[in-house]
Amino acid sequence: MPQELDSAGALARTVLALDLPEGRAPVVGVSGFGGSGKSTLAAALHQHLPGSTVVPGDEFLRSRPPTARSQDWGSVDRDRLADQVLEPARRGAAQAYQVWDHDTGAPGPWVSLAGATAVIVEGLGLYVPALAGLFDLRVWVDVDLDTATARGMWRDEHEYGNAQADLWTGVWRPNDADFFERYRPDRAAHILYAAPSPTLSRSRGPVSR
């Protein structure tokens, strides 16, 4: 059964307690529904693990934003994620990965992973059979789909000024629902992370997680 945690500090202690080959940096996955708070948790965990690196899963999307319906988040380029990040990191040989180039619509500049004390990969659709075993610790941000979607839609409209309601309701939420039913990433996780409830503001609404 997955362990339940509710703080980035406790999660960091769990990472540091992993039994790994001497000198190898842990590989940590942080996944959840869109809008659940994956990026927020990954950033907080990074602060608790000096020298760690966060690898955003969005850099491995075949199109940004993803616009295709699928049952397995097929827009995630899992082969490139495995080849450039996960497999080298598991060998203790992580060097670099490519970020997405908006101008060319393809993988572009390289970002170094050399010397990272932990590799934190956050993103959608991570816990499929081909990738799950490449993570030393799999974290699922345990926010229900309705709540996560509402937070994500509010964030895009009010914080980013980029309302994408049609994509949220027509593509991303259905993709999340189908992926969850097919793979049950919450059961594949070692840790269920209970994200804090957003604070409320009369002027701004819920703070994005």
Residue 204: inside a domain: no
* H-assigned helices in the chain: 8-16, 38-48, 78-81, 87-90, 129-132, 145-154, 165-167, 173-183, 185-188
Residue 159: inside a domain: yes
| Total domains in the fold of the chain | 1
Residue 203: inside a domain: no
pLDDT of residue 205: 34
Residue 114: inside a domain: yes
Residue 29: inside a domain: yes
Residue 207: inside a domain: no
What is the residue-wise DSSP string for 87-146? HHHHTT---EEEEEETTTTEEEEEEE-TT-S-EEEE-SS--SHHHHTT-SEEEEE---HH
Which residues, including other chains, have CB under 8 Å from residue 75's CB and lie 6 or more apart? 61, 62, 63, 66, 68
Q: What is the mean pLDDT of the chain?
A: 93
Task: Give this prediction's pTM.
Answer: 0.93
Residue 36: inside a domain: yes
- pLDDT-derived band at 206, boundaries 50, 70, 90: very low
Q: Could you list the residue range(s) of the whole structural domain that residue 164 is in?
A: 3-18+25-193
> 15 pLDDT exceeds 80?
yes
> 199 pLDDT exceeds 70?
no
pLDDT of residue 28: 98
- pLDDT-derived band at 123, boundaries 50, 70, 90: very high
pLDDT of residue 170: 98
**CB count in 10 Å sphere of residue 65:** 13
Average pLDDT over residues 50-58: 98
Residue 202: inside a domain: no
CATH number at residue 9: 3.40.50.300
Q: State the Rg of the chain over Cα.
A: 17
CA quadruple 84, 22, 120, 33: dihedral positive or negative?
A: positive
Closest C-alpha among 20, 4, 204 to residue 119? 20
pLDDT tens by residue, 157-179:
999 999 999 999 999 999 999 99
